[in-house]
Amino acid sequence: MAVAAGSIAFVAFSFHNSAEGFAFVTLNPIQPGESIRFVDGALATSGSFSGVGGQMVWTNTGSAAIPAGQLRPVDNRGFPPRPCCDSRLRL
């Protein structure tokens, strides 16, 4: 199954000083090579983005699928995301 709407859920975010980042949990498996684009922007009434403040692409660069139920933290340094439950994660 390809990554689509409903494949992830945001579970944490912080945009405070050096602790900037977010975390999501996978609701469906994410296959190797699949990507998710995260966009910081305003949504127009038409459903398109009216302005983009920033964006990043997260890709499963591993050789195996990420199973459903996995926590994937992403910090302000971007990639790769820290492993689950890293004590340095301050989200």
* Bridging pattern class, strands 21-26 and 35-43: unpaired
Nearest to 37 by CA among 61, 62, 22, 59: 59
| pLDDT at 68 (0 to 100) | 94
Residue labelled with tokens 């992830």: 8
Pull the structure tokens for residue 90. Answer: 């301050």
pLDDT tens per residue across span 8-56: 999 988 777 666 788 899 999 999 999 988 877 777 888 777 777 777 8
| pLDDT at 41 (0 to 100) | 75
| pLDDT at 48 (0 to 100) | 76
pLDDT at 77 over 70: no
What is the reported pTM? 0.69
